Every structure is written in C-alpha cells, then in structure tokens.
A and B are shown apart, each in its own frame.
Chain A
Amino acid sequence: MRLSEEQYELIEAYLNNELSAADRTSFENELQADSELMAEVTLQRDLRLGFRAIGISQALDKARAQYNANRRVEAVPADPSSKPMPVTRPLSTWQYWAAAASVVVVLGVGYFVFQQTTEQPTDLAYNETFVPVDELTKEFPRGLAPNTRQQFLDILKEYEAGNYSTAIDQLKTLPADRQTVHYRNFFLGLSYLANKQPTEAIPLLQKALATPSVALRQKAEWFLALAYVKNGQKEKALPTLKRISADKAHPFNLLAQRVLQKIN
C-alpha cells in the first residue's frame, strides 16, 4: 500500500504515542476496519524495531571496540597509573590476527580473531568489525607520502573506534592513485562490511584482489567470502572458503574451516 505523506505522519505519530486520546481511539477504530492499514502499521512498527536494534548494535560495536582496546593496552600498559578494565589473560604474545564471520550473528559482519602463539592453548577473541590498527598499517603501500599516510592513519582511528560511516566518507574522498588504489579499495570494502553493507563491500573487495601484495590479497579474498556470506550469496563464498580451508599456509585457514562448518 502506497501511503500518502499525511498517512505516513499519522502512523508515525501513532507508533510514537504522540496522538491525543481521542485521535488514538479514532485511529484504532480505523485500523480495526482496514486490514491493509493494519498491515501497514505492523510493517512500520517492524521497521522502527529494526532502527532501534541497529542503534543498539552500533553502541554495542563501540563497547566491544573499547573492551578490546582496553585488553590490548592492558597487555602493555603505557601509563602505570591507568586503571584499565579487567582482562582475562595477557595478550602480549599474540602473533597474528585473523578474521572470521559468524553467519548467524544477527547484525554482525565479521569476527576478527586473535590467536596466541603455539606455546599456549589456542585463544580466540572475536571482535566484530574490529581490526588492530598495527595490522592494517602493515599493509600500507610502500613509500606513502607523509600526508597521505597521516590521512590513512586518521581514518584508521575512526575505524578502530567503530565509526565506520565516518571512515567510509573519508576514504571516499581520498584520491585513488596507482600506489594506493588497492589498499583504499580493500579498506573501503572492509569498512562497508563492518558497517553491515556487504552489497557495497563486495565490488571493492573484488577490485582489491588485483593487488600485487600477497598478504593484502589473502585478506581481501577472505573478507570477500565473508561479504558474500553476509549478503546471502553462500554459493559465491563456498569456492573461496573451500580453497582457504584446504590451504594450510593460508592465514585464514582455520577460520575458513569454521565458517564452512557454520554455513553447511
């Protein structure tokens, strides 16, 4: 049913409890008599529930990012007087990061996984849409001009703080020259994925596969597979996930196996 602007405003006022008692009763009587209007109100209510949940989810993303930042800082405290959040174990021995996505997480996109050294039992902490900045800076194109490098670093800070929309807006304004294009595409794709926009992430991560850097390409293909999963295109994700699962040297090998297990 196509609503007029007035009808839209009326439904909105009803759902926000902004109608007077008399108007409310009148509207409810109308609802009882008009099943199409009733269906419209239900749909609008669902949309508003979604908006609320997305807001909560964004706040949760920030809380998780802060939790993980505190855990990392706790491992190497810079300021002995600071009182960080409690941690469950030291993280200073972590050697590499990896990422995985849960296909069933409600609003989740990617789960970023940190693994400890082989001397200790495997310890994975999952941080949706959170990547340590030092891992992303590793993939910086060589010989970046200082101001471009600083621009990327500023954007990384936004990303790390969970401000994905800001990171996306800023990345879009960066000129994509031959030196930075692959990294920019990857980072922009990753930011879209983190912002729960897998449809936008997919073409960018596909482009990032053209990078000459093996490490960046491995990340790009992994996140591309996750973007397909999140976009409901499991069949497009499967070949990559199977290949990564079979390649023991691939940094995302274990995670690919787990995601495969989840979606099969």
Chain B
Amino acid sequence: MAIRPLPTFLSDQELYDALKRRDDRAYQYLYAESFPSFRHWMLTHNGSEMDAEDAFQKGMLSFLLNVETGKYQFQASTQVTTVLFEYCKRVWLTELKSARVRTKAAMPDSVDSMDTGNVVEDLERLEVVNTVQKSLSQLKDECRKLIEWFYIEELSLREIAERLGMKETSVKSKRYDCAEKLKGFYAQNAKKMGL
C-alpha cells in the first residue's frame, strides 16, 4: 500500500462533516491523530496493547455511528479528537468496571462514580451490530453480496442488476427474499443473545 500524506482539515467543523459522509481521508486523519495518544493513555491505566486496540475500535465505532445518525452533533467548543478520546476512555473504564464487578474486586472511587449510562447503551447497541454481522455471514454468498452491495456499499438496484446480469425488477425481488432470510437468521441469533 502506498504511503499517503496526512490529510489536513481547515476546521473541526470540516472534519466533522467529512466524518459524517464517511470520507476515507477523514477516517485516516482521525486514526493517526488519536490512536497513539489513546494507546499511551491505556498503557498508563492498567490496559494492555490489546485492550487499547479493542477499546479504541469500540469507541471509534460508537462515536462514528453517533455522528452519522445525528446522536452526536458538532459542538464548536469541543474538538472532535477530544470527544473521540472520551468515548474510547469511557469504553475502557466501563469494561474495567464490569470486569471488576464480575471478579468482585475493588474499583477506584473515580470509576465507580462514573456515569456510564450512555456508554453502556452504546455498547449494547454494538451487540446488535455484532449480531447483524453474524447473521449476514450465515447467508449464502449470492444473498450476502446482494445485501452488502445494496445496504452497505449503497449501490443502486440498477448497478447491482448490471453486475449480476439480471433485470432490475428481479434484483428487487431477490433483495426482498434475501432480506427475509437475513431477518430469520437475525431473529434466531438475537434470541440466543437475549437481545
């Protein structure tokens, strides 16, 4: 993979807007700007490298989902990187707290009193996401691709029809069939997961 210079954004608002439209360069920028400092923070807060990557992934995903869905709105007074850092930090502290509860070990007061309501909600939401992912992988290749192309890559029915050499109306019906199959897998998996 060729090296690319770090992209620049003239303002935080510009970065936020680029993240909202899932701009590759904005993602790269945010990753390169935020991961090293978060990693450092984790290593000084009882975390391992694996924990750092884990919490960073979850924090990034939660944050970017909230950006796209409008749950997190741009705030001129707070830097995007600062908000992301807070998301990742809270993921880690919440998981640490949960692990300590499981092992009945003592937690520092500062963590015990932390309001983790939103983080817990976000993490539960990620369980739903995980279940969708698993269900998608249970579909046969043809269905999985069709669903991925339409719903994830956001190709139009016409583009998919061209790829498959099918009529657009046939693709539309097939999408419905595949979506129903996916729903079946999802319902089973969600039940097992207690969602």
- The chain A residues found within 8 Å of chain B, CB to CB, are 2-3, 5, 8-9, 43-44, 46-60, 62-67, 69-70, 73-74, 82-86, 88, 100, 102, 104-108, 111, 113, 123-128, 157, 160-161, 165, 196-200, 232, 258, 262
Pick the residue among A69, A82, A111 that contacts B50 (CB under 8 A).
Answer: A111
**Closest Cβ neighbor of A107 among chain B residues:** B133
A9 and B176 CA atoms in complex are apart in Å by 9
**Closest Cβ neighbor of B67 among chain A residues:** A56
In the complex, how many residues of chain B place their beta carbon closer than 8 angstroms to a beta carbon of chain A? Answer: 60
- A100 / chain B contacts, CB cutoff of 8 Å: 50
A67 touches B28 (CB 8 A): yes
B50 touches A60 (CB 8 A): no
Pick the residue among B69, B145, B195 that contacts A52 (CB under 8 A).
Answer: B69
B132 touches A49 (CB 8 A): yes
- A107 / chain B contacts, CB cutoff of 8 Å: 57, 61, 129-130, 133
- B30 / chain A contacts, CB cutoff of 8 Å: 63
A198 and B148 CA atoms in complex are apart in Å by 17
By secondary structure, the A interface counts as helix
By secondary structure, the B interface counts as helix
B22 touches A50 (CB 8 A): no
14 sampled A-B residue pairs with Cβ under 8 A? A49-B129, A52-B69, A54-B136, A60-B61, A106-B130, A107-B129, A111-B50, A124-B50, A126-B50, A128-B53, A160-B1, A196-B137, A199-B137, A200-B137
Q: Which of B74-82, B111-119, B179-187 contacts A (4 or more CB under 8 A)?
A: B179-187
A196 touches B54 (CB 8 A): no
Kindly provide the distance from the CB of B26 to the nearest chain A CB, expressed in whole angstroms.
Answer: 9
A50 touches B27 (CB 8 A): no
- The chain B residues found within 8 Å of chain A, CB to CB, are 1-6, 22, 24, 27-28, 30-32, 35-36, 39, 48-50, 52-54, 57-58, 60-61, 64-65, 68-69, 95, 125-126, 128-134, 136-138, 145, 147-148, 151-154, 173, 176, 179-180, 182-183, 186-187, 190, 195
The 9 nearest A-B residue pairs measured at CB: A50-B132, A126-B53, A124-B49, A63-B27, A69-B1, A53-B129, A51-B151, A73-B3, A102-B54
B48 touches A106 (CB 8 A): no
Kindly provide the distance from the CB of A231 to the nearest chain B CB, expressed in whole angstroms.
Answer: 8
A105 touches B53 (CB 8 A): yes
Given A60-B61, A102-B54, A113-B49, answer yes or no on A52-B1 (Cβ-Cβ < 8 Å).
no
Pick the residue among A48, A84, A197 that contacts B5 (CB under 8 A).
Answer: A84
A52 touches B27 (CB 8 A): no
B50 touches A8 (CB 8 A): no
Kindly provide the distance from the CB of B189 to the nearest chain A CB, expressed in whole angstroms.
Answer: 9
B132 touches A46 (CB 8 A): yes
**Closest Cβ neighbor of A44 among chain B residues:** B183
Pick the residue among A8, A44, A58 that contacts B176 (CB under 8 A).
Answer: A8
A3 and B181 CA atoms in complex are apart in Å by 11
A5 touches B50 (CB 8 A): no
**Closest Cβ neighbor of B126 among chain A residues:** A106
A48 touches B130 (CB 8 A): no
Kindly provide the distance from the CB of B44 to the nearest chain A CB, expressed in whole angstroms.
Answer: 14
Kindly provide the distance from the CB of A39 to the nearest chain B CB, expressed in whole angstroms.
Answer: 10
- A262 / chain B contacts, CB cutoff of 8 Å: 50
A70 and B6 CA atoms in complex are apart in Å by 9
A2 and B176 CA atoms in complex are apart in Å by 11
A2 and B183 CA atoms in complex are apart in Å by 10
A67 touches B32 (CB 8 A): yes
A79 and B60 CA atoms in complex are apart in Å by 32
Given A48-B151, A57-B61, A105-B57, answer yes or no on A64-B31 (Cβ-Cβ < 8 Å).
yes
Kindly provide the distance from the CB of A89 to the nearest chain B CB, expressed in whole angstroms.
Answer: 9
A63 and B154 CA atoms in complex are apart in Å by 19
